[in-house]
Amino acid sequence: MLGQTTVPLVGLVDTAVIGATGDAAALAGVALGATVINLIFWTFGFLRMGMTGMTAQAAGAGDAPEVEALLLRGVAVGLVLGVVLFALQLLLIPLAFAALSGGGALDDAARAFVGARFIGAPAGLAVFAINGWLFGVGRTRAALALQIVMNVANIALDLMFVWHFDLGARGVGLGTSCAEWIALATGLLIVGRGIDWRRLGSAALFGGGALKRLFAVNADIMIRTIALLLLFVWFTNAGARLGTVPLAANHVLMQFVSVAAFVLDGFAFTAESRVGHAIGARSEAQMRRAIRLTGEFSLLAGLGFALLFFLAGGPLIDLLAANADVRTQARALLPFAAAIPLIGVPAWLLDGIFIGATRGRALRNAAIVATALYIVTDLLLRPFGSIGLWWAMLLGYAYRAGALGLYLPALLRGMKTAAPE
């Protein structure tokens, strides 16, 4: 949980540094640019999610060579995919912005941010794999250390590029990209010491259908991730359609949601690791215990975040945004952002359970259904402006939980039949 608390600090720092300038267009541009980056980079989020489930299952089965091979396989794939993204940015960036409602100074700031962020693509995707592997083997302190290094570097570099060199939105992107490369170097130092390199030849890493299995397991998770990313892109684009101030206000409030989601994902990651170990060990009792305990703690933490945001959200908004109009709009919509930590708990926890079980098909189908229902809901509520936008987002989390919850009985029945006598 401590490690996950630091993850959204990247977005928080980016928002606070550019928000302190009082430039609503620059803040909105970073919001739009961050949406583009999330859509493109987190398409490959299976490098984190799938890696955790596969590593935990291999560890639970006592297959140490496969645990180590998974790490190097994931890092190699992440670096290659990142290089491909960097090479294709001249094609990907125009395509992404063609689908979004921006224009003028807003687009200029967003494009500057996105172009700078692509410099960190190879490192960012490789760090996905390292984090997933660390969670899978239960090395959460190492994951915390890695995230702290990245965030300290991001804070220092953001301040230098934006406040000292006055690079605006581009400086925010450069700071984060450089921090990702520093995190990759740190991550490789952390995990490299425990690897037995003598037993990891190319055959162990990439032979015997290893890569085929990696992508087969994660193809459905990739589709699931794209579907959920489209949901958030739709939300951001709908805010951009309402104007610069609503978009900037939504971005500020989404930092609250991001903090709650990442911290509560600490319980979900625990579920991923514990459920994966239970399946590797073929233990139904371990699996039920993991679901019960993480569920109880998630519910309590979600309630705590909802109360915190509702009571202290106003001063936090003032801390993140200097523009008076943005502050007013964000305060008016604060109750919706405060409700999401509680409403989102079942969706985040069920994600962790099914990722740990590597049940990609259930994740894929539930995400597609939830995103489709969310879009229909948003269209129906569009006459209500920003209020309708946030109601649709709240219902989107409920749709995710409901669609995925339908698959839970089958997962438990499968463990019962697989459990040893």
DSSP string across 338-398: HHHHHHTHHHHHHHHHHHHTT-HHHHHHHHHHHHHHHHHHHHHHGGGHHHHHHHHHHHHHH
Using left for φ > 0, alpha for ψ between -120 and 50, and beta otherwise, residue 139 falls in beta
For 165, the 3-state DSSP assignment is coil
Amino acid at 353: I
Count of domains forming the chain: 1
Contact 310, 335 (CB under 8 A): yes
pLDDT of residue 103: 57
E strands of 197-332, at which residues?
Answer: none
Cα gap 408→350, rounded to integer Å: 8
Cα gap 70→54, rounded to integer Å: 8
Residues 6+ apart with CB under 8 A from 264: 4, 298, 301, 302, 305, 341, 344, 345, 348, 349
Q: Which two tokens stand for residue 182?
A: 């520093």
CA torsion 308→303→43→395, rounded to 10°? -110
pLDDT of residue 210: 63
Q: Which two tokens stand for residue 102?
A: 């921006």
Domain range spanning residue 315?
2-418
- How do the pLDDT tens digits run along the chain, 421 residues long? 666 666 666 666 666 776 666 666 677 777 777 778 877 888 888 788 778 878 888 888 888 878 888 888 889 889 999 999 999 988 888 887 776 655 555 677 788 888 999 999 999 999 999 998 998 888 888 988 998 899 889 888 988 998 888 888 888 889 999 999 999 999 999 988 766 655 555 545 665 566 666 676 678 888 888 898 889 889 988 888 888 888 888 988 988 888 888 788 878 878 887 888 888 777 888 888 888 988 899 999 999 999 999 999 999 898 888 788 889 999 999 999 999 999 999 999 999 899 888 788 899 999 999 999 999 999 999 999 999 999 999 999 999 999 999 998 888 887 665 443 3
